[in-house]
Amino acid sequence: MLNKKGIASRLATIELFKEALKFSAGHFTVFSSTDRENIHGHDYRVHVSLTTVIEDEGLSFDYRFYEKKLVPLCRMLDKAVLIAGLCKYLKVSDEGDYCCIEFNHEKMMLLHRDAKVLPIYNVTVEELSNWFLQELLLDTEQLENHRIQKIEVKILTGLGRSGSTVWDRTETANPTRALKHR
């Protein structure tokens, strides 16, 4: 890739993992049509790496733009029970003030204020990393303006346990098509 002066571009990776990029949430993972975890919780941390071009001024972009997108997403998930809205083994419905989740003849009722139904297939670190990445990829204009070449989102639930999802511009021309759900 050449810059405006015809010189080979320099790439840098900006990593965002500040204290505000965290949330505490309950969840259960579904393993099959008859097996799931009990509801439990984790303290999640979000780590985002953005690979981009270093401009002639020695600056890639104002990374506060991405922090301002990520912090509200973390706050939205904080202190909620996360539900996989696309899980083929769950039936999720509204019953008055409650979110009703049915699994293998079991019925769980959560107040709407306590449940966050996400467009994911399961509540796992890999699916959560994919969800965060898709949220970042929605602003295609800024991806172009910031010359973002690659994004990796990693979700951590403690030392030694994480899952990540990567988007690479060289592998797809349309960022929102790259991560369509199965």
pLDDT of res. 155: 98
pLDDT of res. 182: 27
In the chain, the domains with their CATH numbers are: 10-178 (3.30.479.10)
pLDDT of res. 63: 87
Whether residue 145 contacts residue 51, with contact meaning beta carbons closer than 8 Å, is answered with no
Q: Hey, is 103 helix, strand or coil?
A: strand
Cα angle, residue 27 at apex, residues 26 and 30 outer, rounded to 5°: 170
**pLDDT averaged per 10 residues in sequence order, the chain, 182 residues:** 59 93 98 97 97 84 92 98 98 97 97 97 98 96 93 93 94 55 32
pLDDT of res. 61: 85
pLDDT of res. 118: 98
